[in-house]
Structure 1
Amino acid sequence: MLGCISAVHAVLYTRTEQGAIAWSISLISFPYIALPLYWFLGRNRFKGYVSARKLSQQLGVDVLLDRRETLAPYILNKDQLDPATLAAERLAAQPMLGGNAVELLVDGEATFNDIISGIFAAKEYILFQFFIIKDDGLGRRIKESLKQKASVGIRIYFLYDEVGSHSLSVGYLQELRDAGIKVAPFNTRKGHGNRFQLNFRNHRKIVVTDGKVCWIGGHNVGDEYLGLNAKFGHWRDTHVRIEGPASLGAQLSFIQDWHWATETILNLNWDVPDVAPGKSAALILPTGPADELESASLMFTQAINSARSRIWIASPYFIPDRSVLNALQLAGLRGVDVRILIPEMPDHYLVYLAGFSYLEEAGLTGVRFFRYADGFLHEKAMLIDERVATIGTANFDNRSFRLNFEITAVIADDPVFINKVELMFNNDFQSAREVSSTELYEKPWWFQFAVKFARLTSPIQ
């Protein structure tokens, strides 16, 4: 009976037809197996966050909309926007803003040295949010930096995902609290509708200082992100620092997450600079399971469709949905230079296996795949023609498209930055091997079976 009732629920609320069919048949046919899986892993709507976000907007938190007059000098006209950024602007419900100084941060040392320098330069407050934070060498270095700033009166808000940071010790968090730092887990299971859900994650990595500078990218806080893990060796990852009005978009994302986690509204600085620190146009796009639309998937699909000569993508987990895969195929068919950079070394074996199943489908249309061999590839970056680059936290998989809270920085109108991203990709391609589209069928039958099975499990990976 519960299986039948849950099947009705799946038909009504599962986002995709394939998912609705798969869940409803499983719930009716194998209720003792499917029922607990469905209620713990099956849903992709995050209950309650939308209402909390609307409440925060009603309380005047969404000042990016309220302060359009002060932002006006930095807002780009529609005819100035690249087609790849038009949809992103609508999805973010924020304008693309010019006047930013943007710096590409390649690998862990550059990223965390820059973040820690930014922490020490903060004058009013620090917003600090990561998916994974570990109590190891880097984690303790971050902790001591934050404690030092708190000791001189800087307000610090520290937000973490309790699933991603499950190994973070109570003592670590208590040290932060004792130093006067406000600490909160994201509370993924908060609310009646989320109580039994284990499948949602807040995968965002955000640092904001004084509402003027933000850092966004793929790194978490742990020694392996500095290449100090013997198993993975060199950890290939990318972050970006943005100074200027666009950093307010990262701040807005943080305060909405903080409001969900703590039910408190932060009093922060929303002033824009009188003098632009740079010339780049940038947009911060938060996406997640509380969005009315599948924002991450739509962003990537539009970016791929807008490419005229080139689209290069780096992602550690490549399990695209049908719309994204079709967009890549069409790009290949119209002669766009489509390259996908993925890891040679797996960290999640099911995801690694499932990725093999896309090689032939995409490869038949001219899409080229490269496996990065110099350590583990974890960066999430995209380069579109000579015009637009993205750096963020979202992978090309179902989890990032539908289950994770993610954030992406979209940067345009900066030839110097675009050239740096191009150079970064070219260096990565030199450390990679090109993969044949027939590689899967050169493997034993049992490996091919494992790949097909892994693809079936991709919705819950």
Structure 2
Amino acid sequence: MVATVLLALHLLILTGFTLRILLRDNLSPQARLAWFIVLSALPYVGTAIYFLFGEIDPGKRADMRHKEVFGQIRTKASHLMGAPGDTERLIDPLYRPAFRYAGSINGFHPVAGNSAALMADAADTNAHLIADIDAAQSHVHVLYYIWLDDGTGTDVARALIRAAQRGVTCRAMADGLGSRALIKSSLWQQMKDAGVQMAVALPLDHPIRTLMTSRIDLRNHRKITVIDGQVTYCGSRNSADPEFRVKARYAPWVDIMLRLKGPIVAQNELLFLSDWMQATGEAFDDFVVAEHDTQGGFPAQVIGDGPTERRGATPQLFSGLIACAQETLTLSTPYFVPDATVLDALCSAAHRGVEVTLIFPKVNDSWIVAAASRSYYRRLLSAGCRIHEFKGGLLHAKTLTIDSKVTLIGSSNLDLRSFDLNYENNILLQDAGVTGAVQERQSAYVARSDLITLDLVAAWPPHRRIWNNVIATIGPVL
């Protein structure tokens, strides 16, 4: 009798979750298949995993607030966001489709008149950033996914404290999971006591409520810094030392950062404010965002993506950019678990003669990502892509350069977390000078890398290939 009841319960659970998966129109066939495998192999554990992580839904309240916030921004600051016609005026016809697509995500279009400097390394970034905050006269806005109380994190906090004490409006925001230790620390309290306005993105104060209405692993992965509306930073760097003591065995973290001026600063500030407003409930009327002279300089646009934007926006953006490449395409990312759209685009570019160079870390802090990434090597190499594994630490830089003219830089990885779960920020720009500087940095990464060949991959033992492919098979649910 007990066995019959357990069998009936087992079949009921499998049937219920199977129907739920089949009713979801926004799931790819690969993701459905992966969930069926998990549920069949681990029916009880699998259902618990599905309940916790199976559906990407930030909740109706978050969706409504997101629409309300961007409605305010578009109503009152559309003149800072650029216009669709600017793409036709500013962007080379070869790359217009990708820039148009980027503008469709959340309404930021190319704006001219920008300049940028590529920071030399972590110390150079920190020196410029602290100097900019110390020189601030009006306001400072910072948002980090990971903010540690190490040397870099403390330097930033102390600079904000100094700025607040001399009357500068400082707003500091950190992700509730990635910066959970700092949020509970005395340094966080010291910033509050000094007058720095503090907010937590996606807080973990009520984890049970979060699990019932959303997913606990939906995170704000953005890294945004804006000073006086005149300077902004964009790239892969969190507020943490390269030694990254929470995962010191993989150090140093190798990041890349641009320091930008021009109208792009206002766009990045608007993206920051969209997060701040959603976290604090404040209205857009409480803020002033500066306008900029647009003479000279290069065109650029901000791209903000996340689970409250439309599904598939990030992989479609990458695929569109890859499709625009005519001669060269170089990509660096620490986490490479592409969907079929991006994988096909990379192979297609190589097949049509584009020199495709991919740079990944040799040792990854995620064994799951490492295995899944390498499952794609044979297909990429067979198509003609070049793969390099960086061996000078964990290559954390997220860069894409095309034809020595176009650069995408920011926080987005090429994995399913960045595609579906994380709030990300990137800047897409067209400029030979900046792109050349980023390409030089990419070449430096290649110089410190091992070249991976098709013969090398073919020589991998069968058990390694099986393991990589097993992990890749269930990759859509990881």
| TM-score (normalizing by structure 1) | 0.91
Q: What is the match of residue 421 of structure 1?
A: 438
2:168 corresponds, among 154, 157, 163, to 154
The aligned amino acid for 2:90 is Q
The answer as to 2:53 corresponding to 1:41 is yes
CA pair 195-45 structure 1, distance change in 2 beyond 3 A: closer
The answer as to 2:290 corresponding to 1:271 is yes
**More displaced stretch, 133-142 vs 435-444:** 435-444
Displacement of 1:305? 0.4
The answer (yes or no) to whether the contact 2:35–2:477 under 8 Å persists in 1 is no
Looking at structure 2, the residues matched to 77 and 318 of structure 1 have their Cα atoms a distance apart, in angstroms, of 30
**More displaced stretch, 131-140 vs 16-25:** 16-25
Looking at structure 1, the residues matched to 75 and 272 of structure 2 have their Cα atoms a distance apart, in angstroms, of 12
Q: What is the match of residue 373 of structure 1?
A: 391
Displacement of 1:386? 2.2
Displacement of 1:138? 1.6
State the secondary structure of the residue aligned to 2:335: coil
Looking at structure 1, the residues matched to 121 and 377 of structure 2 have their Cα atoms a distance apart, in angstroms, of 27
The answer (yes or no) to whether the contact 1:205–1:217 under 8 Å persists in 2 is yes
Q: What is the match of residue 353 of structure 1?
A: 371
Displacement of 1:121? 2.2
1:56-455 to 2 correspondences below 5 Å: 56-60=69-73, 63-65=76-78, 76-81=86-91, 82-83=95-96, 84-168=98-182, 169-187=184-202, 195=213, 197-224=215-242, 231-266=249-284, 267-274=286-293, 276=295, 279-412=297-430, 414-455=431-472
State the secondary structure of the residue aligned to 1:313: strand
Q: What is the match of residue 18 of structure 1?
A: 30
Looking at structure 1, the residues matched to 293 and 298 of structure 2 have their Cα atoms a distance apart, in angstroms, of 16
Unaligned runs of 5+ in 2: 1-11
Looking at structure 1, the residues matched to 292 and 34 of structure 2 have their Cα atoms a distance apart, in angstroms, of 52
Q: What is the match of residue 20 of structure 2?
A: 9
CA pair 106-325 structure 1, distance change in 2 beyond 3 A: farther
Looking at structure 2, the residues matched to 291 and 264 of structure 1 have their Cα atoms a distance apart, in angstroms, of 21
**More displaced stretch, 438-447 vs 306-315:** 438-447
CA pair 366-67 structure 1, distance change in 2 beyond 3 A: closer
The answer (yes or no) to whether the contact 2:112–2:294 under 8 Å persists in 1 is no
Q: Deviations over 1:253-281 (max 9, x none)?
A: 111211222222252222312464x5011
State the secondary structure of the residue aligned to 2:318: helix
State the secondary structure of the residue aligned to 2:337: coil
State the secondary structure of the residue aligned to 1:223: coil
Looking at structure 1, the residues matched to 357 and 80 of structure 2 have their Cα atoms a distance apart, in angstroms, of 40
State the secondary structure of the residue aligned to 1:167: helix
Displacement of 1:454? 2.1
The answer (yes or no) to whether the contact 2:141–2:227 under 8 Å persists in 1 is yes
Looking at structure 2, the residues matched to 448 and 21 of structure 1 have their Cα atoms a distance apart, in angstroms, of 20
Identity of aligned residues (%): 25
The answer (yes or no) to whether the contact 2:375–2:472 under 8 Å persists in 1 is yes
Looking at structure 2, the residues matched to 116 and 295 of structure 1 have their Cα atoms a distance apart, in angstroms, of 34
Looking at structure 2, the residues matched to 445 and 62 of structure 1 have their Cα atoms a distance apart, in angstroms, of 58
CA pair 281-162 structure 1, distance change in 2 beyond 3 A: same
Q: Deviations over 1:325-381 (max 9, x none)?
A: 000111001000000001112211111121111111111110110111222211000
**More displaced stretch, 218-227 vs 359-368:** 218-227
Displacement of 1:20? 2.8
CA pair 453-79 structure 1, distance change in 2 beyond 3 A: same
Q: Deviations over 1:396-417 (max 9, x none)?
A: 11111111111111111x2221
Looking at structure 2, the residues matched to 219 and 60 of structure 1 have their Cα atoms a distance apart, in angstroms, of 27
The aligned amino acid for 1:268 is F
State the secondary structure of the residue aligned to 1:447: helix
The answer (yes or no) to whether the contact 2:73–2:270 under 8 Å persists in 1 is no
**More displaced stretch, 265-274 vs 294-303:** 265-274
State the secondary structure of the residue aligned to 2:131: helix
CA pair 79-21 structure 1, distance change in 2 beyond 3 A: same
Looking at structure 2, the residues matched to 434 and 424 of structure 1 have their Cα atoms a distance apart, in angstroms, of 17
The answer (yes or no) to whether the contact 2:330–2:401 under 8 Å persists in 1 is yes
The answer (yes or no) to whether the contact 1:399–1:459 under 8 Å persists in 2 is no
- Which has a greater percent of helix? 2
Displacement of 1:23? 2.7
CA pair 130-21 structure 1, distance change in 2 beyond 3 A: same
State the secondary structure of the residue aligned to 1:382: strand
CA pair 112-3 structure 1, distance change in 2 beyond 3 A: farther
Count of residue pairs the alignment pairs up: 456
Q: Deviations over 1:387-440 (max 9, x none)?
A: 20111111111111111111111111x222122112112222111121013434
The aligned amino acid for 1:269 is V
Displacement of 1:75? 7.2
Unaligned runs of 5+ in 1: none
